[in-house]
Structure 1
């Protein structure tokens, strides 16, 4: 979408020239049926131009045809459960999509029409997406769940992922003198759209780049991420090694970057854990082992221990370094909800792990009895989220969205499998 205008220019080139009568007739012939709903060659041509205009990757006829098949299935699934889009809902969807290009719906449609793309193509595209969201909401959302364990696992992965602080880049800087900006941008888009590997990018840099690095295929030495301009850092960090950036217009040039490698540093304390655990002193190893074999989780321990000794159970949350060595060593081998035994003199401690989480994700708890109106709470320092670490709520939302998207793709695949899709 960032390159909507350049995509429009490309589509305008495709749209030029008259269509011969025989070709026009063939364009309106069905090319595929989706449960007896016809998709014509004209629709495929229009969708292909639309995809190119919005910068969709691999916007060829096959991709356009498959996109139209999927949209037919989405709309049919919505009709089956009685989902319809109101004129107001459609207009809202048009405005929202056009807003991504910095335009209102009318301005967006005008740009499309200048490129030979009918406004109905845009409306059908938005309508299919809008009703599909309602289908997903009705059919799939109630089935999607994200467990606390999944949040813990993803949060730990995020914390233990090294923080990128050094990058190996190659650059390709295409001159864009006054009056030639569009040509430079189209060349850059053609290079980026080809998804070049490192050798191909280097060859393009030697051919088109106007900087001294061109002789070395655009290769730059290792750069500290902090040395890059702030506006460029998110562009670079959004890439994976082996990927090329989208064209970046700057004054007098268009810039492409190829990410060759990244290096990072594990954040301090990333592998330190905070454990929530329980201990209970018993008379013998045998007693502790017998209770450990029957208990089925931390909440169950109170009932299994019985009313006489349950009050002696101690539950606490502490970092690994603050836990007695023998207890910490036993906890290290336990999964949440498991119990073990630590001999202590003639007796033994039953130890049970309730949960473990990265120390950097642990939320400090501040106990206070102050009433809200006396203002004391506002003076109590609140724990801050360490920089670069998402909150549990953000992680849960991200996992939920991933699961919903995966479920939607699976449901669409089922619709394809059940549909009668045939060519004339």
Structure 2
């Protein structure tokens, strides 16, 4: 089987998309309870609180001087709990987090832990807590997806980065508890009429062939008083992302949009549904590109183009390939000069192979390794190889890729099954989509109500 390395593993752990997330609400629908970074209030935009333009403080207030621990309805959140959650995000960003951002990160992690605790308590009070075996099964699934190994490998990794299996299992428990709460208290009360679904079907058919963009967004609100500070904060986040920081992790920790819970992922959207500044920026972007900060809807946004496709049209990257991977490994101690000469010979020998039927015998004669895979999607390959593979004819190979340390490889195309034309979504699929959107909006209100009822004290 062609070896496929799991990239940016810890980014997935930090995001923890462990259970199916509802389709996100609109990007600018600010998440209830979210706290802006370095922002202040203004008298003209204070939600009806009628605050004075100049606030005279009558006492000292510096939350960063307070130990970041809390009690939620009597249940303690310790400093260790925070440290172990922060460790996941730090690992996701390769340790490249400034002291100032670390303070904000710890504050956000504490808020996340408070919400998680509230959710677990609410599920327990209604006798719908997730069962221990459900938590263990989900944990094992994360280990399998990320390590292709037993949970002990994930245990070792978490301990190595300063987190713990218990911390991750606690987060799993919180997400499962929240799912149970939504299934009982929110989903049954969401209804979508047949007329609404049919209207959406008609709009989709009329828009067939138009491009859809799968975007990630980090959004922060700004007022005239704090606009410069918010813009500066967003610029710092851009710098961290360009240096390899995890977009998903930053979106979960800093974005004030409701999509923060799903790593900022807006899903596939048509540009006409976006605010004009975001639509204009996205139209010029290519997959993998990052743009921002963009002035937008009373704040600033950072956009990341994850993917794009044509509505209701087949995507060539969904083609299924039959491949052979031919690998040249260099003995330990091989010099660069020796490797260059060996690579030159290898490349010439590969070019002389007469199609896939000749590949196994040729590889044996060359003294190199060869493996086959008859069921791999184009989109499962590294992005740099996807377009190359789509342009190959049967029996042709990619240019060599790799290194002296990891070995050099080529992929030979032995067959391709193109995807069928994409059909219009079914009535039930569209109904489910609309229901999920409404569940997500009601879920935000439900969590806000749970927060308002909670008794929270800080040390």
TM-score range, shorter chain: 0.3 to 0.5
Normalising by structure 2, report the TM-score: 0.40
